[in-house]
Structure 1
């Protein structure tokens, strides 16, 4: 790739060592060119105006102005795709989730604190996330409101333009609203914001347990669960082995563990698994949740696949549909930060509804008593 075609990266960190180490990761990169560095949030705001980067990688904890305060100002004045760097601490994990709400595209967890001498351990993940963030249109962070494409064939008005929808989505056969239900949700990049959009719209008396896989490292899923629990009518917790499934309770798979079920008599409970290797780099993986769940048919399942890179969930969706009564909902390309996982699900031709993220909660409720 010609250097003029490369996406421009600004590196923001108060540590000269970290700036140098991250910059070295991109020396021979064919997609990304490092165009500058900044030492704190205030410096970053000025450098973004001057250099107009396509993507910024920014530390959260910095002097003068921290990354969180800088992000709020950046997204207000000069919106750009931002990937946050976070330490593996409770305070940093909470700040990271706030950064996702404020508009950050993604985050990287430093393996060993503010100055991680072993940052090379996550080099491939860091480079991949920066490359992907550089391709995201910043307008996607604004969550445009458009018409939903639900079991529809024909013309639809989208942003004042008429477009033809040619995909025929399968109808839901023999759906009994009064049979026991379970909700399964899978998401990745952009997922914390999408989950907040969906989970906060579910009523406290919802007649189903909710199992969630969000691609996140250990330490961050607990903060995500606590944040959603504070904002929602339903209860949300980080899943633990032995948790009994209850209606109106959401369980988020902890980072580093696949989430499975076990059945004793008529009681279902959660079993966490750190033995099976990651699937396509992910543990927890959506496919593992779906595949494991396919063996239990006491529940009809409502499956939701939202924004994220890759195709996690598509294989598991095949198994769920083959073995039980399942309705599948995918987030539309119009509101996805990354239209990867939902796209892969839609391409299976097993998705029943494609809707914008702000309509997913309402769609779930339509399938419940």
Structure 2
């Protein structure tokens, strides 16, 4: 039998501390060993109790979740699952938390004190278990809060001969930060991204990546023409696929049934690209739990011109999705996250 997962629950609300603790303690493998009311209290309780995983509220008085996380990761890294509100500020700070080293996050269903927290019971249990198994990856550079200006006059209406498609899940926001900002604006292809995330967070992810990148990064809008030098992120809770109309490629955003529990689904994106004519695709599968993207990769390879890249186990937070893709024996190369952008650009 696997060892119990010792958890420290951190939240400024006594009600939320109790409810989250009760939810986690229902699982036979999880044991909440302590709770903390703010960041300072969390740092003390961590030293006293040596937890395996910490659930950390983003917004707290005295010392908030971001400052706490930075200290935790600097002193002695530990798997952390952020617990966030779905406000724009909460989503933005959650993205910074991913950059600072948090493994994953869950969104409170209805604000700082969510009386309906049981809606995410299974989600928070699953993510704590994943975090206990995940590998901590140190960032080369600390995240900053700088938001740079973006000139939109670089968009050119040129038919895409190539399409780059990226799929990722747990650990993905941080991995995308290691890939997208290194791609030049001159890339002769649109980039389509599926990151498993709930509604309300993908817009902040797009804005954050946009502030760091040469390419334009945005949430995909239904029916828009895909442009070279632009990265389109599937909106949380919606599938993203590609349709062909004459010489143009259009983004299709819809709420069809989830695939293998995912919406957006990497498989659906990849499969749609497999139906396009006269297109060379570069498919990239990065860190994440499960096998999303594997079925779509098979379709892409059957369709003809597809070059497949998988992130190496060395740099993955969770090696599930790339490992599943590798089992198909259709992956052309497996590379460290720091080399993925270079490998993409080798095809241009």
Match of 1:272 among 238, 250, 253: 253
Separation in 1 of the partners of 2:269 and 2:243? Answer: 12
Task: State the 1:30 CA deviation.
Answer: 2.4
Aligned: 1:141 with 2:137 = yes
Partners of 1:26 and 1:34 within 8 A in 2:
yes
Q: Which runs of 4+ in 1 moved over 3 A?
A: none
Q: Secondary structure at the match of 1:200?
A: helix
Q: Deviations over 1:168-218 (max 9, x none)?
A: xxxxxxxxxxx9211000000000111010101111101111000000111
What residue is the counterpart of 2:271 in the other structure? 291
Does structure 1 residue 21 correspond to structure 2 residue 5? no
Matched residue, 2:331: 351
Q: Would you say the 8 A contact 1:329–1:351 is kept in 2?
A: yes
TM-score (norm 1): 0.87
Q: Structure 1 CA distance, aligned partners of 2:347 and 2:333?
A: 11
Q: Distance in 2 between matches of 1:312 and 1:257?
A: 15
Equivalent residue number for residue 63 of structure 1: 61
Query: Contact 2:100/2:139 (CA < 8 Å) preserved in 1?
Result: no
Count of residues paired in the alignment: 329
Aligned residue among 299, 315, 320 for 2:300: 320
Q: Which residue of 2 aligns with 1:229?
A: 210
Are residue 106 (structure 1) and residue 86 (structure 2) matched?
A: no
2:241 and 2:134 map into 1 onto residues whose CA distance is: 33
SS at match of 2:310: strand
Cα-to-partner distance string for 1:137-164 (whole Å, 9 max, x where unaligned): 4xx32269xxxxxxxxxxxxxxxxxxxx
Gaps of 5+ in 2: 141-159
Q: How does 1:2-151 map to 2 (within 5 A)?
A: 5-137=3-135, 140-142=136-138
Verify: 1:212 aligned to 2:212, yes or no: no
SS at 2:86's partner residue? coil
Q: What's the Cα RMSD here?
A: 1.3
SS of 1:141's partner is coil
Tell me the TM-score normalized by structure 2: 0.92
Please, which of 160, 183, 189 is the counterpart of residue 170 of structure 2?
189
Secondary structure, in 3 states, of the residue corresponding to 2:173? helix
> Is the Cα contact below 8 Å between 2:99 and 2:139 reproduced in 1?
no
